[in-house]
């Protein structure tokens, strides 16, 4: 599939085949729309995509700390220490890799990201007519 990380995650969210979906390009911003019309950021479009190693789940975006090499010490019973109502991104990654028989990918150490490529917070302003 030729898509950015957002495209990969959209396909995985609707996957019926269980086949691997890998990113083919890097972009800088993206969200998906849920059934209620909410835009949910699933990919930070950081330009250094790791979705091929993390079962299509972006730890940079879904982990509030942006951890690239596993959960922090504050994860508790699968929940994030920053937001206890959210599942830990790395627990989700582990379960997805386990389901695919790819847990060995968890052992691959990722170098630090170059966050200068993606300075936050970002804003999208609506265009004004006339």
Token pair, residue 25, equals 């390009």
pTM for the whole structure: 0.67
Low-confidence ranges of the chain (pLDDT < 70): 1, 27-29, 115, 118, 120-126, 130
Residue 126, in any domain of the structure: no
pLDDT at 81: 94
User: What pLDDT shows up at residue 38?
Assistant: 81
* Number of domains making up the chain: 1
| Residue 127 lies inside a defined structural domain of this protein | no
Query: What is the spatial distance between Cα 14 and Cα 85, in angstroms, rounded to a whole number?
Result: 23
Q: What is the dihedral of CA 105, 109, 112, 115, to 10 degrees?
A: 0
Residue 104 lies in a domain: yes
Strand 30-33 and strand 39-43: the pairing is antiparallel
pLDDT of residue 90: 96
């Amino acid at each position: 599939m030729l898509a950015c990380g957002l495209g990969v995650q959209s396909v995985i969210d609707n996957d019926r085949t269980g086949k691997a979906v890998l990113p083919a390009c890097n972009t800088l911003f993206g969200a998906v729309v849920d059934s209620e019309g909410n835009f949910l950021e699933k990919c930070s479009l950081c330009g250094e995509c790791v979705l091929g190693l993390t079962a299509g789940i972006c730890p940079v975006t879904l982990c509030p700390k942006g951890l690239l090499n596993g959960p922090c010490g504050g994860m508790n019973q699968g929940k994030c220490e920053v937001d206890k109502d959210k599942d830990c991104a790395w627990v989700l990654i582990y379960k997805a890799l386990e389901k695919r028989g790819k847990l060995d990918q968890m052992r691959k150490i990722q170098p630090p990201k170059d966050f200068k490529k993606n300075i936050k917070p970002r804003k999208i302003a609506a265009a004004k007519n006339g």
